[in-house]
Amino acid sequence: MFTRKKEICKSMGIVAMLTLGTSSTLQADSLTQTQLHATIGIVTNFILSADTTSISMTHNGVIYGSVTSPHTGRVWLDRNLGALQVCTSFDDEDCYGDYYQWGRNADGHEKSLSNTTATLTNNPTTVGHGDFITSTSIPYDWTLVDGFGITRTSNWFGVNGASVCPLDFRVPSIAELNAELFDMGSAEIHNRLDAFNSFLKLPSAGTRSGLSGSFGSLHMWGYLWSRSVSGANAYSLSYNSINASVNGFDNRIWGQAVRCIKK
């Protein structure tokens, strides 16, 4: 048995180091899967090494890394917003992160110990306090204005670091989440274990009720907001032990996890 490194792929100005072993497995030190295929043709049974372009950043007191999708090549945060670490299991509480009401800025309401109030706001971009807003009335929203969600969609699309995501990152659309997790050729998740085993390492963090402010489905369900509007509601992902799906009926007043994508 032996292992050696050989420099190849000088065409197209790209140099890659591949490790050849008895298992016929190629280790690519610097190329993405797409680049490797484009440079030397289709290579089967190869494993990409850790992303050498990973970004490290601090946002709202939390240090984040980044991960590159093996499906789309897009760059994502390596954990949910507010999470202390990358998930080690689907029920790892240190990676659950914060619970955001849809379209709302990081103003303290997203923290698990934030107080609650039943008073809706008239300003969806500057609420003026960090309380988690509850309501038991239709349309189950935390603001009296922006019924079409235009202001809040624009807010979560921002990449200047002033909303919820770090600089140059934003909240994904439902199409961008589908491309990574549900579409053909994506991770194609079917349950919470698939979600955790995906490159995003998604946890089952449950949700915070917009009716009462209480927490539910911890360790059992995972939810992830998109910035996309669905009528008077918003699109999100959900998954449990036996199912994973796109949900277009989530009330905007609920608190759920957010994962950011690079612009």
Write the pLDDT tens digit of every residue in 84-132. 999 999 999 999 999 999 999 999 999 999 999 999 999 999 999 999 9
> Which region among 51-55, 62-66, 241-245 has the lowest average model confidence (pLDDT)?
51-55
How far is Cα 255 from Cα 238, in angstroms, rounded to an integer?
A: 13
Task: Please indicate, yes or no, whether residues 35 and 145 belong to a single structural domain of this protein.
Answer: no
CA 59, chain centre distance (Å): 15
- The answer to whether the beta carbons of residues 20 and 29 sit under 8 Å apart is no
Percent of the chain with pLDDT over 90: 79
Same domain for 146 and 190: yes
For the chain, how many structural domains are there in total? 2
Q: Are residues 110 and 127 in the same domain?
A: yes
Say if residue 41 is in the same domain as residue 116: no
Domain of 18, in residue numbers: 4-48
pLDDT band at 20 (very low <50, low <70, confident <90, very high): very low
Alpha-helix residue ranges (DSSP H) falling in 66-173: 150-157
What pLDDT is attached to residue 54?
76
Q: Given a cut of 50, is residue 16 above it in pLDDT? A: no
Residue 198 has pLDDT above 60, yes or no: yes
Query: Does residue 97 share a domain with residue 24?
Result: no
pTM: 0.80
